[in-house]
Structure 1
Amino acid sequence: MEERVNYVKRSQCDYSMSLKLQIVQEIERGELSTTSATRKYGIQARSTIVSWLRKYGKFDWENQTPSHMPKTPEQKIMELEAQIKLLEKQKTFLEQQASVADKKVILFDMMINLAEKEYNIDIRKNSSPEQSSSSKKNKSKR
């Protein structure tokens, strides 16, 4: 006897954000495939889960081909080109962050210099390695 699964027609608002994120995490960890997730959670269309993966997942799904199809050399090249573009974007972003960090260091240094002059106090410690070793000797003699 064949078991029939009766699907209840659902709308997008039936799925809570926590359920969507849980399904995405299970798929990204390799615990489920998109097809098995549709069966397990009673989701009608695999495309619904794929859209969640694109929205909430950590993986870059652009320019990807289904895993069950062998990739042609052209597809592999396109995939690698997309990966290069992504890495270039990341590099640019990190370079911008480094530039901002460098500017902050210069600004903070200027602020410390100004505060030292304005209030006539030493904020930075100007101890050399010899001073710190001699201070240890003085402390041990006491």
Structure 2
Amino acid sequence: MTEWTKRTQNDYTLAFKLAVVEQVEKGELTTGQAQRRYGIQGSSTVLTWMRRHGSSRWRKASSMGKSVQKMSDPSKPVPPEQRIKELELQLKEAQQKAAFFEAVVGVLKRDYGVQIGKKPVGKSSRKSSSKG
């Protein structure tokens, strides 16, 4: 018989959290199914990950338990303060994703010897077709 040990969110790696969030966002699993499949103990842990690492539709209006907040509709005028908050959230997400991808590239280089570089400016990934 295995012994039950209480886990915290710090016991899960960022890569694991992002993988679970991606599966839920794609519709492959519900938050409850993800919790059961991966043995995640907290009933709201996956939802918390969705708010932190998922798309904007999972963000809460506030920490007081109000309804889920969506990014504003671009056709409606938005107060500058709200737009700034939205942009700050987008920036934070982009920075988290960039840090994650840089960590992945670091592991690929260190553990697998894979060299990943940027394409030179002005070079296209498409092959040019010669007209003749």
TM superposition score normalised by structure 1: 0.41
TM-score by length of 2: 0.44
**Higher helix proportion (structure 1 or 2):** 1
